[in-house]
Amino acid sequence: MLWGDHGQEGLENAHVCLINATATGTEILKNLVLPGIGAFTIVDGHKVSGEDVGNNFFLTSSSIGKNRAQAATELLQELNSDVSGNFVEESPDKLLDNDPEFFHRFSLVIGVQLPESTCLRLGSVLWDAGVPFLVCRTYGLIGYMRLIVKEHTVIESHPDNALEDLRLDQPFTELKHHIESYDLDSMEKKDHSHTPWIIVVAKYLEKWYSEHNSQLPKNYKEKEAFRQLIREGILTNENGTPEDEENFEEAIKNVNTALNPTKVPSATEDIFNAEQCENITSQSPSFWVMAHGVRDFVRNEGNGKLPVRGTIPDMIADSDKFIKLQNVYRDKAMKDAAVVSKHVEALLQSFGKPPESISEQEIKLFCKNAAFLRVVRCRSLAEEYSMDTFNKDEITSCMDSADSEMVLYLMLRSVDRFYQQHSRYPGVYNYQVEEDINKLKLCVNSLLQEYSLNVNVKDDYIHEFCRYGAAEPHTVAAFLGGSAAQEAIKIITHQFVPFNNTFLYNAMSQTSATFQL
Amino acid sequence: MAEGEEPEKKRRRIEELNENMVVDGGSVDHTEWQGRWDHLKKFLERAGPFTHPDFEPSTEALSGFRHIHVVDMDTIDVSNLNRQFLFRPKDVGRPKAEVAADFVNGRVPGCNVVPHFKKIQDLDETFYRQFHIVVCGLDSVVARRWMNGMLLSLLIYEDGVLDPSSIIPLIDGGTEGFKGNARVILPGMTACIDCTLELYPPQINFPMCTIASMPRLPEHCVEYVRILLWPKEKPFGDGVALDGDDPTHIQWVYQKSLERAAEFSITGVTYRLTQGVVKRIIPAVASTNAVIAAACATEVFKIATSAYVPLNNYLVFNDVDGLYTYTFEAERKENCSACSQVPQDLQFPPSAKLQEILDYLTENASLQMKSPAITTTLDGKNKTLYLQTVASIEERTRPNLNKTLKELGLVDGQELAVADVTTPQTVLFKLNFIS
């Protein structure tokens, strides 16, 4: 599977809490139960209604009137017998009143179709307890997700288009020696055509340096000239026509990226400069201890560079040449990781922790991913809502375009306001729709006024949100089900990068947007 | 009772039943219950500022999707169970279409899913013509092109004008790991699968020389065993093909791959990698499939109810880093070989060999045919120039590949009919001689 055995282990040790087994809730859980989450607990004080059965694949008409948490647990449980399914027939508000620490045991809490007040209360408890909180909502044809987690570190972000770590601009000693062992000019055709392109580029770079004052080709013109230099190195036959040397073609193609200067990516720099990296204590998570170790390496043995990653892409070459070259990089990566280990050990010892508390394997993985480390910090709901800290700039600038998905966020905040005032959502019954449009508009205006938001919310959206009548159509719930489940898996496995922090999906236009609120 | 009264009574009863089916059907009928359609009816009873301009709210449409046919040639494998939620361990080995139908029919009262344990190509126009909408979750571009071609073949043109009632919308979804896409195709009107063929880059297989003599990666070692060693050593008997689902076969391949790898000092061959290469496994997760399936289902809903303007017409999804979607209108290709009805142009000198035309048909990015069969009319008679899918005909027509177009008797403007697995209909090409 895509998150490896160690990721799967993390998943199987996790315990997720779902609040409210509505269609959105059960669709999310389905996508966690199937890949084998360790355990789930559904918290839901509702009884199954006819309406619930109409849009929820994990409820049947025979469960109408019964405990919704239990009914859903049964049908979700049977998706995977390795998963432990549990339920608590209680409203989250009651639990917050009587036993807020109930929520401390979970790896992640997913709150679905929650009223604003419950959301904020729960958000505060989970923030203080350091438990990640994922809020999900299907409202008519709109999907909404909000992730709240103080600090989420990612070692394995698995970026889609990562640049290789070849060090051609500053070859380390062992690589230099290996390159020196080649003499392209004296090679027979077979060897010449099966020399790895990395060696070809390195050799021609030496030629270039001798003619260009040891400067790397910098702009397009110079890179073109460099490519031409390589092309001229292609062997020709007796008639002078160039031979078919695919390795040289690969070299030419890769000139663009192979000569990028080796440097520490800004995201990794930010991690090195973070307060958590600077001030390591016995409480520091291993991520920060290792970051500090790598930082020490970069500032000393690494000469400003990260530990060598150790992998090279496949390329046209004979097996022997390729494996030998691959081993040069692999061995250097191992050496660098060992040095980082020493730094980490010293750190651990400095506050009385045994060196085994962070394994060799972990350190190797960290070094291999040093260029891809990420830290995601999602603000609390309190910060999002507070008059002093709400993200006015983001909201106003997005609303320059009246149909930006930001308007959907403002509408959701407005229907929450409506609910607060009228103890119901707008337009649930046909006879309410017309009157509610005006009432909802008042809510929109009061929201904008309270936050001094000088933006225009088109009447069309107010009308549409009344029209929805707080319905939860199954296809929209299912879209969120897939989206939210994968974000949950990211949080649990610490692999791939979660969104930060508000996601909106519009099923009418099939568009989406992410905002940091 | 007089005979005349009976029909009256019958008619009344049917009307009563229908009334109870709609909206808050509070009848004794156990396939309906109070509130069943509450989450949906608001979208059908109420017009709104974003609904389709032609949309007319009504309460009569409310019965959900009841008549669904499912076509699938596969049986259930244990590896499917981590994401295919309609199947359980006890179902392994059974046809997917049948198990899915049983499950849904049992879970959703009033729903009637009809399974077809068949290849899509085993069914013909009379089958596909009956549907209002076709939804695909296929696992190959070839199959998609075939389905695309089938729906195009059902289009009716009167005096060059497309009859809209002959259009069957095609909603197509696909996923690979954390990436996915969903698209809406209105055959004859919007971009079809072949219009955007370049969006699907051709599958790159490892070069033969790498596999045969210069392996570098563990995958090369496995391919060596699969492609070269297995046919040579026939470990399970003559004519026994490598079966990726047979653990004894995989075990044999795995051992031999390890030996191969050791010869070249290559590390990394594992049982799982071996199986992945042999079965061409593309990693899949429940979540991406759920997202794309939901997007497709939303489009089916929009089209069936005419409540909203459908996606126009291509959605891309990727949740590797946060969640990313991109929606755009894929454009029709003016000379699309599938949907443009424009005879395709083939420009070759009369001295070109037939092999060159064959290569063009397979290698051209917009055509990407697999094993085209070329026929034409010469001296009033139908003549097969080359066909590979039947061994005897392949042998007989093979010499033609080396003959020039002139030698074969072809003239400027000659029409060539090409058949291929990528389309249910033959594609017409016009030969244009160039100097």
| Digit-coded pLDDT (tens) for A405-427 | 999 999 999 999 999 999 999 99
**What is the Cα–Cα distance from B421 to B371, expressed in whole angstroms?**
7
Strand partners of residue A506: A142, A511
Put simply, the answer to whether A468 touches B295 (Cβ < 8 Å) is no
CA-based nearest distance B329→chain A, Å: 12
Strand partners of residue B116: B71
CA-based nearest distance B267→chain A, Å: 10
CB A484 within 8 A of CB A108: no
Query: Which of A483, A505, A511 to mutate: most B Cβ within 10 Å?
Result: A483
CB B58 within 8 A of CB B44: yes
Contacts of A319 in chain B (CB under 8 A): 214-216, 264-266
CB B86 within 8 A of CB B103: yes
Residue B30 confidence (pLDDT):
59
Parallel, antiparallel, or unpaired for β B134-136 and B157-158?
A: unpaired
pLDDT at B29 over 90: no
CA-nearest of B294, B331, B325 to B312 is B331
pLDDT at B17 over 90: no
Select which of B111, B136, B192, B209 is catalytic: B209
Output the average pLDDT for chain B. Answer: 88
Among chain A residues, CA nearest to B184: A510
What's the sign of the alpha-carbon dihedral B375, B376, B377, B379? negative
Indicate the pLDDT class of residue B1, thresholds 50, 70 and 90: very low
Structure tokens at B103: 């499950």
> Does A427 contact chain B (CB < 8 Å)?
yes
ω into B313 cis (within 30 of 0): yes
CA-based nearest distance A517→chain B, Å: 15
Query: Mean pLDDT lowest for which of A11-25, A265-279, A330-344, B339-353?
Result: B339-353
- Which H or E element spans position B175? strand B170-176
Average pLDDT over residues B303-309: 89
Residue A26 CB burial class (10 angstroms; 0-12, 13-18, ≥19): buried
CA-nearest of A42, A46, A76, A43 to A59 is A76
Output the average pLDDT for chain A. Answer: 96
**What is the Cα–Cα distance from B94 to B75, expressed in whole angstroms?**
5
Put simply, the answer to whether B38 touches A50 (Cβ < 8 Å) is yes
> Does B171 contact chain A (CB < 8 Å)?
no
Catalytic, B209? Answer yes
Contacts of A157 in chain B (CB under 8 A): 321
ipTM of predicted assembly, 2 dp: 0.95
Return the half-sphere exposure (C-beta side, CA atoms, 13 A cut-off) of residue B277: 23
Q: Using CB atoms and an 8 Å cut-off, which of residues 56-75 of chain B contact chain A?
A: none
Q: Higher model confidence: residue B60 or residue B7? A: B60
Return the half-sphere exposure (C-beta side, CA atoms, 13 A cut-off) of residue A506: 24
**What is the Cα–Cα distance from A242 to B328, expressed in whole angstroms?**
44
**What is the Cα–Cα distance from A201 to A256, expressed in whole angstroms?**
11
pLDDT at A457 over 90: yes
Amino acid identity of A250?
A: E
Put simply, the answer to whether B290 touches A482 (Cβ < 8 Å) is yes
Contacts of B103 in chain A (CB under 8 A): none
Parallel, antiparallel, or unpaired for β B344-348 and B134-136?
A: unpaired
Contacts of A469 in chain B (CB under 8 A): 42
Residues A93-114 have pLDDT tens digits of 999 999 999 999 999 999 999 9
Indicate the pLDDT class of residue B5, thresholds 50, 70 and 90: very low
Gyration radius of chain B over CA positions: 27
Residue B268 CB burial class (10 angstroms; 0-12, 13-18, ≥19): exposed
Contacts of A159 in chain B (CB under 8 A): 320-321
- Which H or E element spans position A143? strand A142-148
**What is the Cα–Cα distance from A176 to A169, expressed in whole angstroms?**
11
pLDDT at A256 over 50: yes
Indicate the pLDDT class of residue A311, thresholds 50, 70 and 90: very high
Q: Using CB atoms and an 8 Å cut-off, which of residues 72-101 of chain B contact chain A?
A: 81-83, 85, 88
Query: Which of B39, B213, B320, B329 to mutate: most A Cβ within 10 Å?
Result: B39
